[in-house]
Amino acid sequence: MLLSREVADVDAVLAQVEALGGRASAPADDMPWGQRVAHVQDPDGNAVNLTTKTG
């Protein structure tokens, strides 16, 4: 299962991930379908996608 959570600003939330015990595998990226996405893991190792609508 993959949880996807829409947030107001992916980059701002991504900057807080490690301080809150999670891990980010890569920087956020703009997707062709109009979202900015960051793939992270929560403190328990669960995969979570953080998304923001673009455009």
The tens digit of pLDDT for each residue in 5-53 reads 999 999 999 999 999 999 998 999 999 999 999 999 999 999 999 999 9
Helix (H, G, I), strand (E, B) or coil at 11: helix
What integer pLDDT is reported at residue 49 of this predicted model?
96
CATH number at residue 17: 3.10.180.10
Q: Give long-range contacts, CB 8 A cutoff, 24+ apart: 37-42.
A: 37/10, 38/10, 38/11, 38/13, 38/14, 40/14
The pairing of strands 29-31 and 35-41 is antiparallel
Residue 55 has pLDDT above 90, yes or no: no
The total number of structural domains that make up the chain: 1
Which residue range forms the structural domain that includes residue 26?
3-53
